[in-house]
Homo-oligomer: A and B are copies of this chain.
Amino acid sequence: MALSSSFLPAWLRNYRREKLGADLAAGLIVTVLVVPQSLAYALLAGLPPQVGLYVSIFPVIAYALLGSSMVQAVGPVAITAIMTYAVLSPLAAPGSAAYIALAAALSLISGAMLLLCGAIRLGYLAQLLSRPVISGFISGSAVLIILSQTKHLLGVSATGDNTWQVLAALLNQLPLSQVPTVAIGLSALLTLALVRTGLAGSLTRLGVSSARAAFVVRLMPVLVVLLGTLAVIAGDLDRHHGVAVVGSVVEGLPAFAFFLPAYDTCKALIVAASVMTLIGMVQNITMAQALAIKRRERVDANAELLGLGAANVVAAFYGGMPVGGGLSRSAVNVAAGAQTPLASIVSALSMIAVVAGAAHWLARLPLAVLAASIIVAAYPMIDLRALREAWDYDHADGLAWLGTAGGVLIFGLEIGIGLGVVLSMGTLLLRASTPHIAVIGRIPGSEHFRNVERHDVETIPGVVFVRIDESLFFGNLGAVELRLNQELENSTETSDLVLVMSAVNRMDATAVEVFAELNRELAERPTRLHLAEVKGPVQDRLMHSPLWASLSGEVFLSANAAFEKLGRQASRVLA
């Protein structure tokens, strides 16, 4: 009993009855709401529409049982969908059997990676991506998504290997746009856009609770989809006016299909899968945390990875499309009042009903409407505010954002994010190689030392106090030496040089060697080299180095202690 129950997730073991109603309701509502976007993202990924529905069933259950977030909802999401398309479309014809198999393999590999990272607690790998890089990547991807949908909005067929080709194709095809399709698409787009921007506000002004208002806004896409479908049926627009529709949606449940990808397939997909894993990690964990903070809950990063990994492995065997933690899905879930993952399980089970019986109703859903809903969902992902904030804070961070987004648009998703990582690492080294170094003096009547240029402080003739605000490593010793030599040349007759190490968190072997040489060089002048406020960890290391023994000066606990003693000596000299 105890054993068996210990297999159940915590939320299920101590599930509180009173939550049941909310969870059931939320689950049913979510199902209705996510049907259109599930179809849309499957098409965006270049897969048959029903695949989107399939992976909204068992993967969802897997995550509900293993994940740690109470309200995060996984399923087909925009970023993984566009990545799937971007990665696989060069390898096989979208929609073809080979393509579907590759999508399943991609989902399996990235799922396995996520499980592995979760198992050996590699969640911190997600740290390889700085916020500007993530934001830039998502923004760039959003632009790709919008571009990929525009053709459906116009009712033309424009494809290309890269952004420019797609753009060019769209411009070429523009004159061929089909009036009825454009009419439906644009009206849907406008409706949804207006809804998003205006509706919630006006509803709350009308006294509707903001939660309910948000919910109504979430509901609109479904209404638009219904209206669009009805319009098509009413006017036979698909048959007589060439309005593209979803078309046959295979009905019934797919069989569970176990497989292992071939070595060559793995080799072909490994990079893409790694990027997908990294992005999946980051998105899922950050979003789960954001949701948890709102609800005063905690999420376990590694449990999240296990949940997401399991969901993708299941998705591979049962439909075959990578899934992720979806922002809009989760928002829908929360807005619908979900309390626990039970809501997701309910929606998964009711999705079975949809797949089994209701799929054919979706056959005449116009693609233009789906495209409109995808575009409206993708547009807010273009986060130019993040770019401005990063740029204002530090141009280097802004450049990382631009480099990543630009890289995604020009060279594709993998190179884009690679560029971002390189840019952030490079910035890191560059910053560390140009340390902030200040000549400091004591604020009269205190034990505090400040920059002689910024504050009015007291100094001792012949004694120079220098504070190095950087860990010392091979990459910045040249800059440090240069600056120290400048200071020594500025001040004639320096008898003592005190290095205040309060901000030196680490010294590598090169730094110790260079300082030992500096110590010898200074002894020739002669100038004594003192150290002050050496950190515990640094001191532990230094004690075993030759520098410690050969140091011409002393090691002081604090800059003040050095100031007192050297001050007395100087006055004695002057006297």
Taking Cβ atoms with an 8 Å cutoff, the residues of A that contact B are 123-124, 126-132, 289, 293, 296, 389-390, 392-394, 396-397, 424-425, 427-429, 431-433, 435-436, 447-448, 451, 454, 469-471, 473-479, 502-503, 505-506, 508-510, 512-514, 517, 520-521, 524, 535-537, 541, 544-546, 558
Contact = CB atoms under 8 A, between A and B. Distances in A.
A131 B520 contact: no
Contact of A503 (B124, B132, B503, B520): B503
Closest 3 CB pairs of A and B: A130-B474, A397-B509, A131-B510
B502 A448 contact: no
Contacts of A521: 293
A386 to B, nearest CB: 9
B130 A510 contact: yes
Contacts of A433: 124, 127
A63 B433 CA distance: 30
Nearest to A520: B293
A269 to B, nearest CB: 26
B436 A505 contact: yes
Nearest to A125: B478
Given A126-B478, A425-B425, A503-B505, 15 more contacts: A128-B475, A130-B474, A131-B474, A293-B521, A389-B545, A389-B546, A390-B509, A392-B544, A393-B509, A394-B509, A397-B509, A431-B506, A469-B537, A471-B471, A471-B505
B513 A131 contact: yes
9 contacts: A131-B474, A293-B517, A396-B508, A397-B508, A431-B471, A431-B506, A436-B535, A448-B558, A454-B536
A435 to B, nearest CB: 7
Contacts of A130: 473-474, 508-510
Counted per complex, copies of this chain come to 2
Contacts of A394: 508-509, 541
Nearest to A512: B393
A505 B469 contact: yes
A505 B435 contact: yes
B506 A129 contact: no
A128 to B, nearest CB: 8
Contacts of A451: 536
A429 B436 contact: no
A558 B517 CA distance: 35
A424 B474 contact: yes
Given A451-B536, A454-B536, A470-B505, A393 B478 contact: no
Nearest to A436: B537
Contacts of A448: 558
B509 A389 contact: yes
A476 B454 CA distance: 31
Contacts of A436: 505, 535, 537
Contacts of A509: 130-132, 389-390, 393-394, 397
Contacts of A435: 505
Given A394-B508, A469-B505, A479 B124 contact: yes
Contacts of A503: 502-503, 505, 535
Contacts of A514: 131
A541 B429 contact: no
B541 A469 contact: no
Contacts of A479: 124
A127 B541 CA distance: 22
Contacts of A289: 517
Nearest to A438: B536
A429 B508 CA distance: 13
A169 to B, nearest CB: 36
A322 B431 CA distance: 35
Nearest to A390: B509
A506 B474 CA distance: 19
